[in-house]
Copies of this chain bind each other. A is one copy, B any other.
Amino acid sequence: MNGYTQDKEDIARRLKRVEGQVRGIGDMVSSDKYCIDVLTQISAATKALESVALLLLSDHLNHCVVEAIEGGGPEVSEKIQEANDAIARLVRS
């Protein structure tokens, strides 16, 4: 189904924290905090999201892609293509 089962709670916890960071950034803007301080927090939230993405991708390769290849069949090249597209989106975002 998905490859992140063993990291699910960790990922959920990290996303909860990023959600709180982004809400905090919104509060900084509402209370007119200094631009540079807002930018620092945005960079931190972006890095945290990237880090979750890298964990998900690693889980995906280790489980979904490995299982697809072990199972064989036409699904393999589709799975690899999908992973490559996700990597390209990450590298370019």
Interfacial chain B residues near A5, Cβ < 8 Å: 32
Interface residues on A, range: 35 or more
- Min CB–CB distance A69 → chain B (angstroms): 4
B43 near A89 with CB under 8 A, answer yes
- Min CB–CB distance A74 → chain B (angstroms): 13
Interfacial chain B residues near A65, Cβ < 8 Å: 61, 65, 69
Bound-complex Cα distance A29 to B34 (A): 34
Q: Which of A8, A38, A52 has the most CB of B within 10 A?
A: A38
> How would residues 39 to 53 of chain A score, 1 for a CB under 8 Å from any chain B CB and 0 otherwise?
110110111011011
Contacts A3-B35, A19-B19, A58-B84 known; list 20 others, CB within 8 Å. Answer: A2-B33, A2-B38, A12-B30, A15-B25, A16-B26, A22-B22, A36-B83, A39-B90, A40-B86, A40-B89, A43-B53, A43-B86, A46-B46, A46-B50, A46-B93, A50-B93, A53-B91, A66-B69, A66-B76, A66-B80
